[in-house]
Amino acid sequence: MDINYFLLMRQEIVLLAIALFLLATEVFVPKNKKESLIHLAILLFAVHTLLGFFFNKTGELFGGMFRTTELIDLFKTILNIAVLLVLLQATDWIKDKVLRDNRGVEFFVLLFSSLLGMYFLVSAGDFLMMYLGIELSTLPVAALAAYEIAKRTSSEAGIKLIFSAALASGITLFGISMIYATNGSIFFDDISTTLEASNLTILGLVLMTAGLGFKISLVPFHFWTADVYEGSPISIASYLSVVSKGAAVFILLILLFSVFDPLMEIWRPMIYTIAVATMFLGNLFALRQQNMKRFLAFSSIAQAGFILLGIIAGTPTGMATVIYFVLIYIFSNLAAFGVVQAIDVKTGKERINDYEGLYRTNPKLSLVMMLALFSLAGIPPVAGFFGKFFLFTAAASEGFYFLVFLGVVNVTISLYYYLLVIRAMFLRKSENPIPYFKSGSYIRIALVLCVLGILALGIYSPVYEYINELSLAF
């Protein structure tokens, strides 16, 4: 056995080792010392994230079922960063709610298993591996969504997630079987050479996109999103909104740009329609939300619509802009979720009205939130602006000017509801504001990292150039 085989799967192996190690260690940790497990988990995962930057290898395993390239390694690293931020933000909640019920380590194990599924998902070289990845990444999250057993809405969220995920993966599988039926292979490389625009293939493509659409929460497959986000613990909502969505976007990119590249003229109108519907519905529903979690849920639906603008371009530039946007979106959305989480853990308040006068009591949190919302809305000089501008550029480069126009209309609509939160925090004064509080150091580190990302990713151009280089090589 060559060491290189291990290196190809090193992210997976290391993550699995961490999960198992934590599970085993818990047995030896006394009940009153469980808190140390949090530090251990975060430390190990941080090291794992750092290691992800090194030892990049390109190659295939298991006869092409599993493959790794520098780009796929980048995908994994992006997901790692997101998960690390989610973990850091979750610490206060774990200490408060989870450890008290004497359920510590399962949270990490489930989360890491789900991440492992995403690794397999983006590394997939055939549909079987992809399907396994989807399943492995979804099932643990359903358990996590129902993690707060004391809360009825949490169990409801878990049930809703598992049902819609099961339906989605069933549909995906149905689509896969049709593609297998017409092409006689499940390997991506084989299919792209034999693919023809027969009715069955197109149906397969549609069903498969629909299945992935559930994970990205594209309209009309978005119905679970708001309820699940609202019911589940905030860490899980943020995990769903960035990591789960990001991984699904990556695999959709790989599928549409390599496997289904010959059918571009067929999937373009499809993506076009979904993009318009997703942007408008997400934005219009977000306008009237009162609960921060539901608000962010609909905002994340709308953001997914913008992502499709890069996908529709179908060019390496389009791919680069999508990856870049996802990276920025992770930092922006996690900053917003982080503030919501910090406030929720300390005060239990999660309505927009509760945020009134926040700047006067908690200026730093409000500023982080403002930056995050500006980034989501696409206001320069924060990174979100660059992400959106490049997505629009990618779409316009292929002549989709009208779609870009609809996109910018949506940017303006979205600005309205993002400003509503800023209005509550900065403009309003409240009789009964959220009092000053100090969050745990992990949350603060996470928020600082998010802010750095939001500020630096846009202005500091080498990040985009690096992604662009990898996409050109794809």
Partner 1 sequence: MDILSLFITVPVLTIVALLFAKSLRHARQVALVGSVIQVAMAVNLVFAYFREKATNDAIMVFTKDLVWFESFNIHYSIGVDGISVALLVLTSMVVLAGVFISWRMEELPKEFFISLIVLSIGVYGFFISLDLFTMFVFFEIAVIPMYLLIGIWGSGPKEFAAMKLTLMLMGASAILLVGILGIYFNSNTGGGPLTFNILEIAQVSIPFEAQRIFFPLTFIGFAVIGALFPFHTWSPDGHSSAPTAVSMLHAGVLMKLGAYGVFRVAMYLMPEGAAEWSWFFIILAAFGVIYGAFAAIKQTDLKYINAYSSVSHLGLVLFALLMLNKTAWNGAILQSLSHGFMTALFFALIGMIYERTHTRDIRKLGGLLKVIPFISAVYVIAGLASLGLPGFSGFVAEMNIFVGAFEHDDRFYRIATIVSVSAIVVTAVYILRVVGIMLMGPIKNEQYLNLEKVTWFEKLGILLMLLPIIAIGVAPLWISNMILESLEPFIQVFM
Cβ–Cβ < 8 Å for 111, 41: no
Residues 6+ apart with CB under 8 A from 247: 75, 79, 118, 121, 122, 137, 215
Interface region with partner 1, contact rule CB under 8 A, candidates 133-141, 178-186, 338-346, 388-396: 388-396
Phi and psi, residue 430, nearest 5°: -125, 145
Check binding of 379 to partner 1 (CB under 8 A).
yes
Q: Which of 213, 224, 185 is nearest to 201 (CA)?
A: 185
Q: Minimal distance in Å, beta carbon 453 to partner 1?
A: 18
Check binding of 381 to partner 1 (CB under 8 A).
yes
Q: Provide the 10 A C-beta neighbour count for residue 21.
A: 13
Tell me how far apart the alpha carbons of residues 235 and 86 are, in angstroms, rounded to a whole number: 6
Q: Three-state SS for 104?
A: coil
Check binding of 390 to partner 1 (CB under 8 A).
yes
Q: Which is nearer to partner 1, 172 or 375 (CB)?
A: 375
Check binding of 461 to partner 1 (CB under 8 A).
yes
**Size of the chain in residues:** 474
Q: Three-state SS for 166?
A: helix
Q: Minimal distance in Å, beta carbon 235 to partner 1?
A: 31
Per CB under 8 A, the list member of 166, 203, 396, 448 interacting with partner 1 is 396
The per-residue DSSP string of 16-71 comes to HHHHHHHHHHHHHS-GGGTHHHHHHHHHHHHHHHHHTTS----EEEGGGTEEE-HH
Check binding of 317 to partner 1 (CB under 8 A).
yes
Check binding of 408 to partner 1 (CB under 8 A).
yes
Interface region with partner 1, contact rule CB under 8 A, candidates 22-30, 160-168, 303-311, 380-388: 380-388
Tell me how far apart the alpha carbons of residues 356 and 428 are, in angstroms, rounded to a whole number: 5
Check binding of 235 to partner 1 (CB under 8 A).
no
Alpha-helix runs per DSSP H in 233-315: 234-239, 245-254, 264-286, 292-313
Q: Minimal distance in Å, beta carbon 112 to partner 1?
A: 35
Q: Which is nearer to partner 1, 347 or 461 (CB)?
A: 461
Check binding of 412 to partner 1 (CB under 8 A).
yes
Q: Minimal distance in Å, beta carbon 142 to partner 1?
A: 39
In eight-state DSSP terms, residue 289 is -
Check binding of 473 to partner 1 (CB under 8 A).
no
Per CB under 8 A, the list member of 103, 177, 380, 445 interacting with partner 1 is 380
Check binding of 353 to partner 1 (CB under 8 A).
no
b (16+ CB within 10 A) / e for 352-391: bebbbbbbeebeebbebbbbbbbbbbbbeebbbbbbbebb
Check binding of 177 to partner 1 (CB under 8 A).
no
Check binding of 306 to partner 1 (CB under 8 A).
no
Check binding of 468 to partner 1 (CB under 8 A).
yes
In eight-state DSSP terms, residue 187 is B
Q: Which is nearer to partner 1, 412 or 441 (CB)?
A: 412
Rg (alpha carbons) of the chain, rounded to whole number: 21
Total number of residues binding partner 1 (CB under 8 A)? 31
Q: Which is nearer to partner 1, 62 or 416 (CB)?
A: 416
Q: Minimal distance in Å, beta carbon 361 to partner 1?
A: 13
Q: Which is nearer to partner 1, 255 or 320 (CB)?
A: 320
| Rounded to 5°, angle at Cα 96 from 47 and 332 | 55
Per CB under 8 A, the list member of 422, 443, 446, 457 interacting with partner 1 is 422
Angular region, 399: left φ>0, alpha ψ -120 to 50, beta rest: left
Check binding of 283 to partner 1 (CB under 8 A).
no
Q: Minimal distance in Å, beta carbon 448 to partner 1?
A: 16
Tell me which residues touch partner 1 (CB under 8 A).
317, 320, 374, 379-381, 385, 389-390, 392-393, 396-397, 401, 404-405, 408-409, 411-412, 415-416, 419, 422-423, 426-427, 461, 464-465, 468
